[in-house]
């Protein structure tokens, strides 16, 4: 239901900020447990996206239009949808302010607005994106442009970038490289393409177990790794990108690099209304207990998804398990019971190392391996590609957004 008639002040019970993967998945799961709950969702967008497939769009293996659906088709019917954006949070008064000047008071608040892609932090990027060979799979509008440019490129310089973490799906920047290189290899032009991956960090992947199998693909594709190299400026017409490069002593120099194709991953930040609120941690993310996902100072508040100030990978797979933790723990809190479930930091990154093969990296807090299947997770598999490209998108629309909790085994609090 999309309510257009409420006055300037609204009194609500359970308020969910965000209608993305975390918001819709959570509301659907909560309503499965108790269909009588009064839930209000605040979400300004008219479209809902399945973002994990954008990498496949950029690799020519998925249709962009199949990753978007109208928000009113995925919003659970029993929920009240307020199509507006939150601009302020006063957790001491349990009150939200919206961009249309309305205010909402709540009994429980679920914070899951996602993160913000800060394109503006790279000088000149917004003027160049979608032309001059400058692209990004992190944008619905430009993932198809990635594939168009990859197909056109028969030689020259291809730069791929990764900003400082945290970012959503930390494997996605290199997935773009692998799928592009696989295409050039199959077309017998890879030897004419100079491929370089510029990472702001000092490691190819945050979980050391997966670095050796990934390095085999970096070597197979003859790609160069430029660590501690952070993209700061782009001039599309001049086909030049500038990177701040840090040496072993911490000295930073700015280096210009020319390109024919530039795949950019933008810096990613917490939305201002969270970062500037009492809910934020020192880095601006929503502070939560990493296991219960409850706010440490405002017990009526929980968070899930990319906004959480936790160390897990920011992926849809993480949300799949967080949804169950927050749903069970919220209901227990409302009954004044101990919180029963514990999140282990699970996240999954299906690394598309070539078209048709995936290394399925699943891990939790501290880089602990948490494989779903009894197979060596470091081996690239066709079955994992089928999971990534076919089964998971189907399950997302038909299962996760409808409250079906598949593969969500969790630890109970001792």
Residues annotated catalytic, as ranges: 169, 349
What values do phi and psi take at 402, rounded to 5? -115, 10
The DSSP symbol for 106 reads: -
3-state secondary structure of 263: strand
Residue listed under structure tokens 């917004």: 126
Q: How far apart are CA 196 and CA 223, in angstroms?
A: 5
Q: How far apart are CA 408 and CA 25, in angstroms?
A: 13
3-state secondary structure of 359: strand
DSSP 132-199: TTEE-TTSTTTHHHHHHHHHH--SEEEEEEE-SSP-BSTTHHHHHHHHHHHHHHHTT-GGGEEEEEEE
Q: How far apart are CA 305 and CA 262, in angstroms?
A: 29
Picking from 22, 282, 246, 230, the residue whose alpha carbon sits closest to that of residue 118 is: 230
User: Which segments of 221-373 does DSSP mark as H helices, in order?
Assistant: 272-275, 316-334
For 170, the token pair is 């930390």
Q: How far apart are CA 190 and CA 354, in angstroms?
A: 14
- Say if strands 252-258 and 156-162 run parallel, antiparallel, or are unpaired: unpaired
Q: How far apart are CA 407 and CA 155, in angstroms?
A: 44
What percent of the chain is helix, strand and coil (3-state, nearest 5)? 30, 30, 45
Q: How far apart are CA 226 and CA 238, in angstroms?
A: 22
Asked whether the beta carbons of 269 and 142 are under 8 A apart, the reply is no
Picking from 355, 52, 362, 361, the residue whose alpha carbon sits closest to that of residue 221 is: 355
Q: How far apart are CA 142 and CA 264, in angstroms?
A: 11
Picking from 410, 271, 270, 395, the residue whose alpha carbon sits closest to that of residue 327 is: 410
DSSP 154-166: -SEEEEEEE-SSP
């Amino acid at each position: 239901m999309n309510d257009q008639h409420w006055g300037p002040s609204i009194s609500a019970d359970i308020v969910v900020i965000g209608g993305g993967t975390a918001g819709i998945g959570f509301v659907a799961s909560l309503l499965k447990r108790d269909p009588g709950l009064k839930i209000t969702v605040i979400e300004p967008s008219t479209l809902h996206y399945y973002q994990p497939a954008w990498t496949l769009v950029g690799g020519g293996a998925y249709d962009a239009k199949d990753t978007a659906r109208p928000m009113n088709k995925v919003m659970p019917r029993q929920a009240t949808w307020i199509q507006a954006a939150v601009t302020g949070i006063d957790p001491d008064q349990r009150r939200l302010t919206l961009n249309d000047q309305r205010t909402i008071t709540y009994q429980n608040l679920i914070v899951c607005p996602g993160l913000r892609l800060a394109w503006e932090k790279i000088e000149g990027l917004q003027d160049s994106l979608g032309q001059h060979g400058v692209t990004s799979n992190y944008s619905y509008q430009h993932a198809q442009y990635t594939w168009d440019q990859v197909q056109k490129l028969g030689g020259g310089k291809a730069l791929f970038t990764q900003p400082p973490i945290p970012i959503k799906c930390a494997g996605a920047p290199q997935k773009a490289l692998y799928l592009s290189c696989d295409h050039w290899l199959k077309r017998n032009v890879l030897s004419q393409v100079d491929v370089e991956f510029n990472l702001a960090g000092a490691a190819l992947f945050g979980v050391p177990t997966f670095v050796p199998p990934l390095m085999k693909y970096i070597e197979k594709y003859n790609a160069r790794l430029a660590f501690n190299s952070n993209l700061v400026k782009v001039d599309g017409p001049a086909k030049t990108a500038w990177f701040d490069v840090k040496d072993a002593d911490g000295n930073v120099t700015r280096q210009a690099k020319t390109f024919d194709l530039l795949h950019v991953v933008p810096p990613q930040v917490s939305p201002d209304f969270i970062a500037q609120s009492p809910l934020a941690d020192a880095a601006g993310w929503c502070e939560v207990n990493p296991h219960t996902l409850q706010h440490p100072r405002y017990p009526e508040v929980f968070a899930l998804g990319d906004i959480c100030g936790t160390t897990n990978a920011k992926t849809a797979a993480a949300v799949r398990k967080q949804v169950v933790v927050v749903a069970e723990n919220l209901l227990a809190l409302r009954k004044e019971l101990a919180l029963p479930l514990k999140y282990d930091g699970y996240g999954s990154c299906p690394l598309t190392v070539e078209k048709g093969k995936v290394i399925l990296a699943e891990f939790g807090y501290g880089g602990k391996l948490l494989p779903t299947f009894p197979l060596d997770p470091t081996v690239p598999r066709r079955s994992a590609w089928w999971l990534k490209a076919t089964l998971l998108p189907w399950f997302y629309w038909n299962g996760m957004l409808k409250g079906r909790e598949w593969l969500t085994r969790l630890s109970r609090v001792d």
